Structure 1
Amino acid sequence: MYKIAVLGDYDSIFGFAALGLDTFTVQTREEAAEKLHQLAQGGYGIIYITEKLAAELTHEIEKYQEQVTPAIIQIPGIAGNTGAGVTGVKKSVEQAVGSDIIFGS
C-alpha cells in the first residue's frame, strides 16, 4: 500500500498530520529537492506539495510526471492560492482524457 506525504513549510502543512498524513517540513530549496526525491523513492504514492515550493522545484517535479507514482499534487499554502495547483490538475486531466473537461475556463 502506498503512503501519502505532504511537503512544505510548517505553517502550511501542520494540519495534515491530524488527518494521518506524513508531513515533512523543509526550509530551503535544496532540502526540499532532496526530500522530494527521498519520498518518491520511499513508497509514497501521493505527494502533496505547496504551490510556492513546487514553483521552486519545477525541474525536479518534471522528472516524475511521466511516472505512475508518485502523483505530485500542488496545494495552496498559507500565503494563498496561486492557481498553479488547479492548472496542474487540469493539464493532467487533459492529457489523460484527451480534452478539456472544465467548460468556461
Structure 2
Amino acid sequence: MYKIGVVGEKDAVIAFLSLGMTVKAVETVNEAVQAVDGMAREGYGLIFLTETFAKDMEETLLRYQNQMIPAVILIPGTQGSLGIGLEKIRDNVEKAVGVDILSKKEG
C-alpha cells in the first residue's frame, strides 16, 4: 500500500495529520521541492502540494507529470485557491476526452 504525503505551509497542511498522512510543513520553495522529491524517492503514491508553493515549482511538477507514481495533486494553500489545480485538472481532462468539458459556457 502506498503512503500519502502533504507538503505546504503549516496552517494549510497540519489538519492532514489527523487523517494519518505524512505532513511536511515548509517555509520556502526550495524546502517544498526537497520534500516532494524526498517523498517520491521514498515511494509515496500520492503527494498533495499547496498551490502557494506549486506556482514556483514548474520544473518539479513537470518531472512527475507523466509518471503514474507519485501523483502530485495541487490543493489550496492559506491564500485560498490560485486556480492552478483546477487548470491542471482541466488540461488533463481535455487531453483524455479531446474537448474541454469543465469550462463554464456563456450562453
Give the structure-2-normalised TM-score: 0.89
Correspondence 1:2-81 to 2 at 5 A: 2-81=2-81
Residue type of the alignment partner of 1:102 = L
Larger Rg: 2
| Stretch of structure 1 that moved more, 2-11 or 29-38 | 29-38
Give the structure-1-normalised TM-score: 0.91
Distance 1:5 1:91 in 2: 24
Shift of residue 99 of structure 1?
2.4
C-alpha offsets along residues 15-68 of structure 1, whole Å, 9 cap, x if unaligned?
Answer: 111112111111222221111111111111111000010011111111111111
Distance 1:95 1:27 in 2: 33
Distance 2:97 2:41 in 1: 28
Identity value in percent = 39
Shift of residue 103 of structure 1?
4.7
CA RMSD of aligned residues (A): 1.3
Distance 2:97 2:46 in 1: 20
Relative distance call for 1:45 and 1:14 in structure 2 (3 A) is same
Distance 2:3 2:75 in 1: 17
| Runs (4+) off by over 4 Å | none
Aligned length: 105
